[in-house]
Structure 1
Amino acid sequence: MPAERRQRLDNLGFVWDARAVAWDEAFSKLVLFKAREGHCKVPRGHTEEGFALGNWVARQRSNSEVLTNDELTAERLQRLDELGFVWDVITAAWEAGFSALLQFRDREGHCRVPQGYKEDGFNLGTWVGNQRIRFEALSKGQQQRLDDIGFPLDPHADDWEKSFSMLQQFKDREGHCNVPQDYKEDDLRLGQWVSVQRNRNNEALSGERFKRLDELGFVWDAIVAFWEEGFSKLKKFKDREGHCRVPTRHTEDGFALGKWVGRQRTVKEGLSAERRQRLDDLGFVWDGNAAAWDESFSKLVLFKAREGHCKVPRGHTEDGYRLDKWASRQRVAKEVLSAERRQRLDDIGFVWDGRKG
């Protein structure tokens, strides 16, 4: 070609290298993608206006260290960098997950991400699970960054968090953490989980978990837990019945409350002042004889409610109890009964003259 023609083409900005033209055209497609999507993470197989942009991006990435300078010059590398080109896809994906986790932590105050949770469309729950599974494969830097923001790396952390959440719900509903041994919450054996935490105590539990359980009001002593369970059942009985006169054989939600109450009377002098005070405040009946009388009276009340009168027939039993004999003893002991007991019997229409019964 004559020099004059080459000069005229050069002055016009003519590109002599066809490969350079193709590269610039592909780059312009990437610019379009970035303007629309906000990033340069082009999926493999993606086409932009009919051009296989995904494949082109993959070639730039995989061959960046082996291409000769005339194919991927410093100028082209700079143009790609300035556009935000992602050279390491795996690292970019990890950074996206870490950024989403950091956003979650800043908002919620912790890194306990629920399974299946999404953060702005990103599957953060899945990403978090993968970090625990492949923790050993993470770089030391990635491990440290996760540790620095308080990320729990225990692969069983999700199960523990689920159980702790159930315990919180139990506490909110029941007012305490004394979960019965055989108790289940949504098919979770919460009672057994509580026992495991109690047995581990602060020796096997992490400091953070121990603190969270402690702040929730977790009862670490099994004996204390049993007493607290009995007290909570007694309170439930009192709220429903209006008194603490628990029948000897009564069970409350499977708990032998009648026996527990009897035990408190037996060991009264050995109870702490704090426990005695709590029972007193609830209206606990310390006198076993008084409790027995109250239990018999309650059976008479049941009889009256059903039959419409207090004339108990000879030989009649109420729940296996010889109520007729008790009624006879009250008549015999009328003069020595306390005024309060006589009044209670009078109030329900008790027949003092057995001959009228």
Structure 2
Amino acid sequence: MAWLPPPARPPRRRRQPGRPGQHRPGRRPRVPPRTWLRKQAGHPLDPTDKTTHGELISWLDRQRCLDGQGLLDAARVSELDALGTIWSKHAGAWERGYAYAAAFHHQHGHLAIPATKKSDGYAVGAWMRRQRKAAGLTAGQAAKLDVPDEL
């Protein structure tokens, strides 16, 4: 049997010129509507539940990545800022933990949170334990946590 060349592949589609994340003429930008964003999460752009908000979390991670690389349009950045985007995932997580700790302090009058304490499913006791051991807290974070404890 004679050797046969492989069948020819269809030509590849060429990408439209432009950088990733940049609006191209004739295409609708891939920005979820503001009302949808606000309905989907408690904070407009800081969702945490991947089962409910998986698509939104992926989209927001992509925007953060593009912004970190300097590839996100200034118009998109200003629109996301207007929505209240938290650009650092770590800062958002810290603020969320602090909000639970502040609620505990408001209710009990101290920050001596038991390590096993959970509030609305959030392990606020474990978070506080990590903060006590953390060496990399910023001055602002340390000041927020520097409340006289009743131990």
| Pairwise TM-score range, normalised by the shorter structure | 0.5 to 0.7
Residues 1:37 and 2:41 are matched in the alignment:
yes
Is the contact made by 1:118 and 1:124 (CA closer than 8 Å) also made in structure 2?
A: yes
Give 3-state SS (helix, strand or coil) of 1:121's partner: coil
Quote the Cα distance in structure 2 between the aligned partners of 1:73 and 1:80: 11
The aligned amino acid for 1:145 is K
Residues 1:53 and 2:56 are matched in the alignment:
yes
Give 3-state SS (helix, strand or coil) of 1:137's partner: coil
Quote the Cα distance in structure 2 between the aligned partners of 1:22 and 1:43: 24
1:133 is matched with 133
Is the contact made by 2:41 and 2:47 (CA closer than 8 Å) also made in structure 1?
A: no
Give 3-state SS (helix, strand or coil) of 2:148's partner: coil
Quote the Cα distance in structure 1 between the aligned partners of 2:51 and 2:66: 19
1:291-347 CA distance string (max 9 Å, x none): xxxxxxxxxxxxxxxxxxxxxxxxxxxxxxxxxxxxxxxxxxxxxxxxxxxxxxxxx
Task: Note the 1:301-340 alignment, pairs <5 A.
Answer: none
Residues 1:104 and 2:107 are matched in the alignment:
no
**Against the structure 1 CA distance between its residues 104 and 42, is the aligned structure 2 distance closer, same or farther, given a 3 Å change threshold?**
closer
1:75 is matched with 75
2:145 is matched with 146
Deviation at 1:80, TM superposition (A): 1.1
User: Which stretches of structure 1, 4 residues or more, deviate above 4 A after TM superposition?
Assistant: 43-48
Quote the Cα distance in structure 1 between the aligned partners of 2:41 and 2:58: 17
- Please, what TM-score do these two structures have when normalized by structure 1? 0.31
2:89 is matched with 89
Give 3-state SS (helix, strand or coil) of 2:91's partner: helix
Deviation at 1:43, TM superposition (A): 4.8
**Against the structure 1 CA distance between its residues 32 and 144, is the aligned structure 2 distance closer, same or farther, given a 3 Å change threshold?**
same
Is the contact made by 1:116 and 1:126 (CA closer than 8 Å) also made in structure 2?
A: yes
**Against the structure 1 CA distance between its residues 47 and 127, is the aligned structure 2 distance closer, same or farther, given a 3 Å change threshold?**
closer
Deviation at 1:87, TM superposition (A): 0.7
2:65 corresponds, among 62, 65, 69, to 62
Larger Rg computed on CA atoms: 1
Quote the Cα distance in structure 2 between the aligned partners of 1:75 and 1:57: 16
Which structure 1 segments of 5+ residues have no match? Answer: 1-14, 152-207, 210-357
Which structure 2 segments of 5+ residues have no match? Answer: 1-23
**In percent, how many aligned pairs have the same letter?**
29
Q: Give the structure, 1 or 2, with the largest relative contact order (CA under 8 Å, sep 6 or more).
A: 2
The aligned amino acid for 2:59 is W
The aligned amino acid for 1:55 is S
Quote the Cα distance in structure 1 between the aligned partners of 2:26 and 2:51: 26
Q: Comparing both structures, which one devotes a greater share of its residues to helix?
A: 1
